[in-house]
C-alpha cells in the first residue's frame, strides 16, 4: 500500500459516549484532517445486513466496502436501535473486521490530497489501525457521565428510554468492548489519557490542541 508522506495522523480510542467523536471532529476541522468515526462502518454493515438479508454475504459486503463513501456513513438510519444491536454483534466477527481494517488503514494513510492528514476514532485505532500515529489519545469519562450524555442524546431524538436503561447498556457495551478476543478496547502505553468527566467540549479541545501544537510546532 502506498502511503502519503508528511501527513499528520491522529489516533483516538475511547469507550462509548466518552465524547471522542465530538472532540475528533473539532480537531479534524481545526487541523484540516480527514475524519473517520470507525464505529459507523460497523453500523453501515449492520444496516446492509438488515436491509439485504438474502444478499448479505462476504462477496456482497466486500463490494460495498470497496465502494463505501464517507457520505454513506451520514445516513440517519444507522442510528436506529436495531442497527446498533446488530453492529455490536458484527464487530466481533473476524472476517468482517478484516475487511473493515483494510478500509480504515487506507483511509488513515491515504487521505485525499486536500487534507493535511487523518484523524480516526474507535476502539483499536492506536494499536491496530494507526500504530505509528503522530498523536495517540485515550479519551474517557466516568460511566455515569457517559450514560447521562447518551441519555440526553437519545432524548433529543425523542427516544423513549430511561437513564437506568442507558446506564445498563453502556455497562454492557464496555464489558463487550474490553473482553472481546479480537481488537479489544485498551489504552496503550504511548496514548495520552484525556478524562472528559469534568471538562466542557471547548476545554477538552483546547487541552488536546495545546498538546498537538507543542510537539507539532517544534
pLDDT at 218: 65
Grouping H, G, I as helix, E, B as strand and the rest as coil, residue 81 is helix
Q: What is the DSSP string of 116-176?
A: SEEEEEESSIIIII-TT-SEEEEEE--HHHHHHHHHHHHHHTT----HHHHHHHHHHHHHH
Residues of the chain with pLDDT under 70: 218
How far apart are alpha carbons 50 and 90 in whole angstroms? 12
pLDDT at 180: 86
CA neighbor of 48 nearest in space, from 99, 94, 22, 86: 86
Q: Which residue is listed with cell 476502539?
A: 123
Copy the grid coordinates of residue 139. Answer: 479519551
Q: What is the CA radius of gyration of the chain?
A: 17
pTM: 0.91
148: left (phi over 0), alpha (psi -120 to 50) or beta: alpha
Write down all domains in the chain, each with its CATH number in brackets.
Answer: 8-207 (3.40.50.300)
How far apart are alpha carbons 49 and 2 in whole angstroms? 31
> Quick count: other Cβ atoms within 10 Å of Cβ 190?
11
Strands 8-13 and 33-37: unpaired
How far apart are alpha carbons 138 and 140 in whole angstroms? 7
How far apart are alpha carbons 68 and 191 in whole angstroms? 29
> Quick count: other Cβ atoms within 10 Å of Cβ 77?
12
Sign of CA dihedral 18, 20, 22, 26: positive
Half-sphere exposure of 29 (CA within 13 A, CB side): 7
Contact 42, 91 (CB under 8 A): yes
Amino acid at each position: 500500500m502506498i502511503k502519503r508522506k508528511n501527513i499528520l495522523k491522529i489516533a483516538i480510542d475511547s469507550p462509548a459516549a466518552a465524547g471522542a467523536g465530538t472532540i475528533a471532529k473539532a480537531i479534524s476541522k481545526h487541523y484540516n484532517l480527514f475524519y473517520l468515526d470507525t464505529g459507523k462502518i460497523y453500523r453501515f454493515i449492520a444496516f446492509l445486513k438488515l436491509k439485504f438479508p438474502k444478499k448479505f454475504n462476504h462477496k456482497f459486503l466486500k463490494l460495498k466496502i470497496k465502494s463505501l463513501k464517507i457520505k454513506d456513513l451520514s445516513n440517519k438510519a444507522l442510528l436506529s436501535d436495531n442497527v446498533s444491536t446488530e453492529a455490536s454483534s458484527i464487530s466481533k466477527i473476524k472476517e468482517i473486521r478484516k475487511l473493515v481494517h483494510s478500509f480504515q488503514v487506507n483511509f488513515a494513510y491515504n487521505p485525499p490530497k486536500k487534507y493535511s492528514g487523518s484523524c480516526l476514532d474507535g476502539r483499536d485505532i492506536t494499536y491496530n489501525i494507526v500504530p505509528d500515529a503522530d498523536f495517540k489519545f485515550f479519551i474517557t469519562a466516568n460511566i455515569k457521565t457517559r450514560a447521562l450524555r447518551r441519555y440526553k442524546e437519545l432524548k433529543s431524538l425523542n427516544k423513549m428510554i430511561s437513564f437506568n436503561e442507558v446506564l445498563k447498556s453502556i455497562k454492557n457495551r464496555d464489558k463487550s468492548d474490553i473482553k472481546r478476543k479480537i481488537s479489544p478496547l485498551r489504552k496503550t502505553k504511548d496514548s495520552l489519557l484525556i478524562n472528559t468527566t469534568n471538562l466542557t467540549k471547548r476545554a477538552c479541545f483546547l487541552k488536546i490542541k495545546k498538546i498537538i501544537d507543542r510537539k507539532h510546532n517544534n
